[in-house]
A and B are shown apart, each in its own frame.
Chain A
Amino acid sequence: MRNTTTIALREFKSYLASPMAYVVTGIFLMLTGFFFQSSPSTYSETSIKGFLGWGSILLLLIASVLTMRLLAEERKMGTLELLLTAPVRYSEVIVGKFLGSLGILAVMLALTFYYPILLGVIPGIGFGDPDIGPIVTGYLGLFLLGCTSLAVGLFASSLTSNQIVAAVVAGGILCALWFLDMAADLLPEALGEVISYLSLYYHFPDFMRGVIDTRGIIYYLSITVLFLFLAIRSLESSRWS
């Protein structure tokens, strides 16, 4: 646990020391701000659906870019050698790096809290009287989706020493998982249902509507764990190169 925290903290600080996190956060805030203000649902329903709908897709790309350096850079610079010869488990390295990037994502999401504040979640501030439920579940959904995307990104970063390749692979896996739902329409019903259940998108609208479906929570968490596990395996396999 101590090792995981040490690695997570180093990773978090390293994000703050490089321009990448600031640029990515800036773009995320600018685009989601635009989605938020331009969506009719913001005014007619006083909801954050405009932000959540496009923000979720944007999150996939943001996560790919945020995680691309986590292992690829260490492999390229050779620092991986010192990290892996320290008395730490491979799982501690992966979970530590995951938590470090999750910290940045959490900060990024926290910075968007001013959208619901503008809508009037705090009485006396803002222009409306929004329903708090969907806002809370919407953020929960976005956070869970973020966890999954970061885990996929970390896995992609464990495969290569090239950060660009890592980002493209992560983006590819995430988009494929997101749009799997559409492919399901073309398949026979029983199979289609299974496939769409596996889609990242399939579980998201519930969270936007204010419904907490445990299946959705379990789905996102299990995909997260699966990719973290794959990342650990991929890191271990580099010993046998």
Chain B
Amino acid sequence: MIRVENLTKYYGKRLAVDNISFNVESGEVVGFLGPNAAGKTTTMRILTGFLAPTRGEVWVAGYDMSKHSLEARQRIGYFPEAMPLYSDMTVRSYLNFSSRLRGLDKNRIKTRIEEVVDICHLEEYIDVLIGKLSKGFRQRVGVAQAIIHEPEVLILDEPTIGIDPIQVAMTRQLIRELGKERTILLSTHILSEVSVTCERVIIINEGRIVAEDRIENLSALISGSRRIRLEVKGPAEKVAERLRQIEGVLQVSYEDSHYIVECSAGQDPRGKIMETIVQGGWTLLSLESIEMSLEDIFLKLTTEEETSQ
């Protein structure tokens, strides 16, 4: 559905996207994961035809973006990063405008607006000026305009950034539902978002793809090195020494009055840790497992790459 080959984009002399290639099959929901300024937005802008690539080719829904951009754009629903909207229009008139512009059949417009308003829970705000809406509702209008023409491909650039947790959950739920029948490419810099919504993930950093894998494999990678943070009342050196002796513990470090315990893959020594501390006569104040952050994954991926080379 989306095919990208050897895509490179320079802004003047600055390299933003460095020779990336990937495919998104029909019906797939793919996460496009990377830190800020990794080249996610640039890639998406090229996929939607807003920017032209410096080199490389892009096909969307079977159309070459450089030759049949109009046909391709007709089949794309796009949610841009900052969700820019005309603040002087009401939700209804804006959706009317975008459905016309995106070539929705004239007789369908009215019913389709009602449908998307229902899907995005905008009923109460349909005649409110967009400029008066809060960020979360503007976000919903953004999703509504992206799906109004029932596109085959959805390109969503950070759709959950800057909105409250309830709305984030709602948006993710919506994405999962949309993903049942559509092809979705979703960019984000939040790791957990990908694991909730996507089947496959493409990780990009500094304009290059660092990893591309199914989400299960990524989760294995994350859980492969579980880390636990402990707060214990007791003599630091002695506690650390005893912790190291526990089966499945690889390493123990002590920083900011917390112990960071790294465990080997597939092991969960939390019970044993607790026992050990109680047996030592110390007090366990807190125990939590730490999720691997995006930075940790990058570190891991890039270092692995280096060692394999």
Contacts and interface: CB of A to CB of B under 8 A. Distances in A.
Interface of A: 2-3, 6-7, 10, 13-14, 17-18, 77-89, 239-241
A14 B97 CA distance: 12
Contacts of B93: 13
Interface string B84-127: 11101100010001101111000000000000000000000000
Contacts of B89: 10, 14, 17
A79 B84 contact: yes
B100 A6 contact: yes
B56 interface: no
B50 A239 contact: yes
B276 interface: no
Contacts of A82: 78, 80, 84-85, 98, 145
A85 B49 contact: yes
Interface residues of B, number: 28
**Chain A binding surface, main DSSP class:** helix
A3 B82 CA distance: 25
Contacts of B85: 79, 82
B74 interface: yes
Contacts of B145: 82
15 contacts: A14-B86, A14-B88, A79-B86, A81-B50, A81-B80, A82-B78, A84-B50, A85-B49, A86-B73, A86-B101, A87-B70, A87-B101, A88-B70, A88-B101, A240-B51
Contact of A81 (B45, B73, B98): B45
A115 to B, nearest CB: 32
Nearest to A93: B101
Contacts of B84: 77-82
B48 interface: yes
A166 B153 CA distance: 36
A145 B50 CA distance: 34
B147 to A, nearest CB: 14
Q: When A and B form their complex, which 8 residue pairs have the shortest distance between CB atoms, in order from nearest?
A: A78-B84, A87-B74, A85-B48, A87-B73, A239-B52, A86-B101, A79-B84, A6-B100
Nearest to B52: A239
A78 B83 CA distance: 8
Contacts of B97: 6, 10
A241 B70 contact: no
A8 to B, nearest CB: 12
